[in-house]
Chain A
Amino acid sequence: MARILIVDDSIVSRTNLKTILQSAQHEVVGEGVNGEDGLEKFLALRPDMVTMDITMPKRNGIECLKDILGHDPEARVMMISALGQGAKILEAVNSGARHYITKPYEPDKVLEAVAELLSE
């Protein structure tokens, strides 16, 4: 079971994702509400992986991804976006994101993606 940090400005999205992750006995060690908060929580908590929303205020998900990888190039970050954001997902993957999922969440797909990322 992994220690996971969720970074997303949406409380609804964070709550849904937390419920899905906890259903598979993962531990959600923290929640970041924007890119700046996400980096701070990552440095303080050093989770096994991070789920990162792309569109957020202050620093967005791609900027936060780059900040995290700047501190820890081995960090495992999975991007999250609404459908129809193909260009941003591609930019995130090119910037070092290991995986991505789209909203609305399908629990099975989320857990499958998390398992895949953790097994790398």
Chain B
Amino acid sequence: MFSQFFGNYLRKRGFITLAQMREVLALQDSVRVKLGVLAIDAGYMSAGQVEEVHNLQSKIDKRFGEIAIDLGILDQDKLSALLGQQNKRHLFISQALIDKGIMTFETFASCLEDYKKDSGLSEKAFEALKANDIDVVTQALVHLPELGDAKMYVDYFSLFVRNLVRFVDDHILLEQAAKVELETFDCLIYQEIEGRFKFFTGVAGPEPAMAEFASRFAKMAVSGMDEVARDSLGEFMNVHNGLYLSKLSNEWVELELLPPEYKQSGSLKSVGVAYKIPFALSFGQFDFYIGVGAPVFTHR
């Protein structure tokens, strides 16, 4: 996450171009090391154990390390050692920018200091961003003050980001949440949740990006927003919201999912408070929507 955020900051300030940012992020991917690989490399886990934890991650809203500890495969000391290695990942973008001659050490150091100030993040949140701690970063960046139970909705969004990482793409860039009343969209998948809390959430984006999102989630080829693509987006919402409801159910809050719905070329008007959180993945720009009540749709 740090690379996307810092890279975008450098781009906005004119230090690097979009093409350079993409090049550097691609280079970073080539040296990306995930916790499972680090655990195998350290001899702490077998490939089978890593696979088992990955499978459980799609069922339980817990992190890789937490599940491995629950299963008795890792202990806290081993996990800390692995995280220590993984948390150095944020250095890759820095190294790549310098190695490619895009920035000098001095410019880099100065930009990093500026970014710390301009991001508005606390010291703790900035460290969390470098450590790829999604929960802390989303809580620091995403503010939904006018929703009834703001913390609950921020927690919901944290889970949404984690599910994007799990199922779709881990190149995520978040922007500030903005309150909205009337929004137009190209393609939108949304789902309503009923019970003690009644709210809706959805994802909108241009057709090519939404089709790629769908294809990645389904692991199937799609042709534009065809039947498979529309169905895949609905399944993503079912899986994501199902994980959230399952988590709430453990806290004795029972909610019900309505079937997801796909809309094209329309506008969304909120009847209650609603927010939009723009986010970018490696293949496109999207808007996440969350609001209380049920929205009203109009076809353009």
Q: Which residues of A pack against B, CB within 8 Å? A: 10-13, 15, 55, 57, 81-87, 102-104, 106, 108
Contact = CB atoms under 8 A, between A and B. Distances in A.
A12 B218 contact: yes
B45 interface: no
B292 interface: no
Contacts of A87: 254, 256
B235 interface: yes
A8 to B, nearest CB: 10
- Counting chain A CB atoms within 10 Å of each CB, the highest count among B231, B244, B247, B254 belongs to B231
Interface of B: 55, 58-59, 218, 220, 227-228, 231-232, 234-235, 238-239, 241-249, 254-257, 259
Contact of B239 (A86, A103, A108): A103
B255 A84 contact: yes
Contact of A83 (B59, B227, B256): B59
Nearest to B229: A12
A120 B243 CA distance: 30
A86 B249 CA distance: 8
Contact of B254 (A10, A81, A82, A86): A86
B58 A104 contact: yes
A85 B243 CA distance: 10
Given A12-B235, A13-B235, A83 B243 contact: yes
Given A12-B235, A84-B257, A86-B249, 18 more contacts: A11-B227, A12-B228, A12-B232, A55-B257, A55-B259, A81-B242, A82-B241, A83-B242, A83-B245, A83-B246, A84-B241, A85-B256, A85-B257, A87-B254, A87-B256, A103-B239, A103-B242, A104-B58
Given A12-B220, A103-B238, A103-B242, A82 B231 contact: no
Contact of A84 (B234, B235, B249): B249
Contact of A82 (B220, B227, B238, B248): B238
Nearest to B258: A55
A20 B255 CA distance: 30
Contacts of A83: 59, 239, 242-243, 245-246
Contacts of A82: 238-239, 241-242, 257
A90 B262 CA distance: 29
Contacts of A15: 220
Contacts of B231: 10-13
A86 B248 CA distance: 12
A103 B245 contact: no
Contacts of A106: 55, 58-59
Q: Which 4 A-B pairs have the closest CB atoms?
A: A84-B245, A82-B242, A83-B242, A83-B246
6 contacts: A12-B228, A15-B220, A55-B259, A84-B241, A103-B238, A106-B58
A22 to B, nearest CB: 16
